[in-house]
Amino acid sequence: MIKKLRERKNWSQEQLAIMSGLSVRTIQRIESGNKASMESLKSLASVFEVDVSKLTEEITVIDKESKYWKQQPVWFKLSLFGVNRRNKLVWVEYLSVLLGLATWIIHPDIFATSAFFLAAYLISKLVNRADSRKVW
């Protein structure tokens, strides 16, 4: 989250370090996913003018205005049409698995069961690809 906020303001790590009173190395560690002390988080929250809890949130929203998103292949962007949050897609995946199990247990219709399980598999692959491309 720190990196995303910093990049939105077009600040370098060095600039952020100066404004927050932290070392560049501390900024690098925090941006790479290491835990930050409460004092560091308070300093950064002050600089970004956000609540401390905002800095600890996991980014799970697709920023469809970013250059990185616009560079993705058309088929990938179309696959995520209407999706802006990772957790929504994961819930659809779980629902597909549950519906597949339900159709298999209640009335083993090979087509419906297969379709639900195939949908769950494809959604899991899409989530995995989005995770690996860091679009969230």
Q: Tell me, what CATH number does 18's domain have?
A: 1.10.260.40
Is residue 61 included in any domain, yes or no?
no
Number of domains in the chain: 2
Q: Are residues 73 and 126 in the same domain?
A: yes
Q: 72 in a domain, yes or no?
A: yes
Distance CA 58, CA 60 (A): 6
Residue entry with tokens 């900024």: 27
Domain limits for position 108: 67-132
Q: Is residue 86 located within the same domain as residue 29?
A: no
Examine residue 124 and state whether it is found in any structural domain, yes or no: yes
Q: Is the pTM here over 0.75, yes or no? A: no
What pLDDT, on the 0 to 100 scale, is given for residue 58? 52
* pLDDT value of position 59: 45
pLDDT, residue 61, reads 57
Residue the block writes with tokens 């809890």: 53
Average pLDDT by stretches of 10, the chain with 136 residues: 84 92 90 80 88 67 73 89 83 95 89 94 93 78
Please report the pLDDT score of residue 39 as a whole number.
87
What's residue 69's pLDDT?
80
Q: Tell me, yes or no, whether 62 lies in a domain.
A: no
